[in-house]
Amino acid sequence: MEYPVIVEQKNGVYRALIPTLPNVSAEGASYEEAVRRAQQAAEAYLSKVVVTSVEVETIQQRPFNPRSPQTWINSAGRFTGDEEAMQTHIEEIYAERKRQQELGDREAEPS
């Protein structure tokens, strides 16, 4: 199995760490030495633990995006029985957007 290794140099000392393995890092006088020691530390660590995986269910699989069509579709069902008010509200939103767009167009016209 391969793991990403981050190597940094400070004050002439190289430090290699493996971010996916907690507390696994090593230092060396050279890049190669630090990486080799990090590999040895990872092997020692992994020989003492059991690696497994779990599936975690989440309520929301995708990040919330208020502008996505699916969000609007999901929200629309909440207004069952209130369609007239919802339609009026949507018309008000579109009218305001059109007004703002026209205002922006007028401001962009040369004087």
* Edge-to-edge order in the sheet of strand 6-10: 6-10, 13-17, 25-28
Residue-wise pLDDT for 46-74, tens only, equals 999 998 989 888 766 566 666 666 666 66
pLDDT score, position 107: 75
Q: How much is the pLDDT for 77?
A: 66
Q: How far, in Å, CA of 55 to CA of 32, rounded?
A: 37
DSSP calls for 34-62: HHHHHHHHHHHHHTTS---------S-SS
Residue 78 pLDDT greater than 80, yes or no: no
> Model pTM greater than 0.75?
no
- Confidence bin at 1 (pLDDT 50/70/90): confident
Asked whether residue 111 carries a pLDDT value surpassing 70, the answer given is no
Domain ranges of the chain: 6-46, 69-108
